[in-house]
Amino acid sequence: MRPLALFALLSAAPVILAAQSPSPSRLSAELDRRITAVMPKVVSWRRDIHQHPELSGEEVRTAKLVAEHLRSLGIETTTGVGGHGVVGVLRGGRPGPVVALRSDMDGLPVEEQVDLPFKSKARGVYRGASVGIMHACGHDNHVAMLMGAAEVLAGMKGELPGTVKFIFQPAEEGLPNGGSGAPLMIKQGVLESPKVDAIFGLHVGPGPLGQITYRPGPAMAASNSFTIVVRGRQSHGATPWAGIDPIVVGAQIVTGIQTLVSRQIDISAVPAIVTIGAFQGGVRNNIIPDSVVMLGTIRTFDKAIRDDLFRRITRTTEMIAASAGATARIVIDSGNLVTRNDSALTLRMVGTLERAAGSAGAEVAPLWTASEDFSAFQDRIPGLFFNLGVTPKGQDWRVVPSNHSPSFFADEGALPTGVRALSSLAIDFLTGVGIRRQ
């Protein structure tokens, strides 16, 4: 969205009276000064957290670091929210709305292959297996940037017309037995007392260093995992007629499911994806097994398409199995919702993002088929989730190792942009920047 189009949209937006607030330019000068001052700390927090990553649901050390920092700033701090979640409430010196800034805190069961002085050597147990642990999704950057924003905003507390809630969320990547941190925090009231009016969050990833990308409306996919169990009847591999072969049925189901998106779903508006990522059955060349288990994921950008796809996958699976005299049971989990950026809020904040990104720029992103449990917050209140490019200058961000790779690398040069974006979004939201005044 370019400025002219934005202006047209804002002009058409309803006129809202904003509360009297300090001059935005004075706040922005103070903000710049405070960001510069806090950056050495942000870098050292990030390195410390990077070196000590923790798996989803085990973020004890990270939560302690965050809580101690928030308390040192005089921010009301609650721990143990939705697991190891930490919530800070900073009440400004003037009345006004409530804005939330969110960072996730968990690492992944990945063994780091990046040669850094603060490389992770952490190990843990994931689903019974001994694993290396790494901040392979870059959440170490998110935590450090939000700790920095908290320090910046706490220093300007007296001038803030409203309240900032800092949400440090555990288990974004999902808990081993299902579920994830955002819905758990919501269940424990993180969006209430005080009630949050809008929420902002960011994610680092491949992209030109310091560039911000955002997308009004659906931005990241809904993600639903599913399990299919095909039951046939065991027999000798030499006499298949004596049994029902679940491997052949399973193969037909894989192929059948692949025709749904290409032949049955209207993908002219938004795409959809169905992937089978695991197919397990049998132990030996000449024994037809009793059953086959398949695991997959569904990615969609629209609730009606998602629900339609659920019905079609179930029908295809069950009827292909029935056609062979086998049975198939499919279980689809509740997964992540679509990360849907509130369009009016996004357009209102484009100027803020552009100023935060400076010469690296802020651009509209294409749809992204990854998913985020930030979507759970956006299901309740208006929210904006955006991306921050962390690919070092001189490297092609299109081909560098992506998030979740053991070789994922985030250049610290983007950290000031993230701190500036988060702090500015909070200030601009509270002070009514982007809202037309009478």
The closest alpha carbon to 181, from 428, 377, 391, belongs to 377
Catalytic residue status for 32: no
Catalytic residue among 54, 58, 140, 172: 172
Q: Look at the block and give the residue holding tokens 């019974």.
A: 128
> What is the nearest approach in angstroms of Zn ion to the Cβ of residue 301?
19
Catalytic residue among 54, 104, 106, 112: 106
**How many residues bind to Zn ion according to rule CB under 5 A?**
1
Which helix (H) or strand (E) covers residue 312, if one does?
Answer: helix 303-323
> What is the nearest approach in angstroms of Zn ion to the Cβ of residue 372?
7
Choices 129-137, 154-162, 231-239, 388-396 (CB under 5 A): range interacting with Zn ion: 129-137
Q: Phi, psi at residue 255, to the nearest 5°? A: -65, -40
**What is the sign, positive or negative, of the torsion defined by CA atoms of 425, 427, 430, 434?**
negative
By CB under 5 A, tell whether 182 contacts Zn ion: no
Catalytic residue status for 106: yes
3-state secondary structure of 205: strand
Question: b/e for 14-49, b at 16 or more Cβ within 10 A?
Answer: eeeebeebbeeeebbebbeebbeebeeebeebbbbb
Given 67, 137, 338, 410, the residue binding Zn ion (CB under 5 A) = 137
Choices 33-41, 56-64, 136-144, 284-292 (CB under 5 A): range interacting with Zn ion: 136-144
What DSSP state is assigned to residue 284?
S
The closest alpha carbon to 365, from 176, 233, 220, belongs to 220
> What is the nearest approach in angstroms of Zn ion to the Cβ of residue 324?
38
What contacts 28, CB < 8 A, 6 or more positions away?
355, 424, 427
Q: 66 vs 73, which CB is nearer to Zn ion?
A: 66
Q: 201 vs 289, which CB is nearer to Zn ion?
A: 201
> What is the nearest approach in angstroms of Zn ion to the Cβ of residue 136?
7
Choices 131-139, 154-162, 358-366, 391-399 (CB under 5 A): range interacting with Zn ion: 131-139
Residue number of the CB atom closest to Zn ion: 137
Q: 205 vs 246, which CB is nearer to Zn ion?
A: 205
> What is the nearest approach in angstroms of Zn ion to the Cβ of residue 74?
30
Binding-site ranges for Zn ion (CB under 5 A): 137
Indicate which residues carry an active-site annotation. Answer: 106, 172
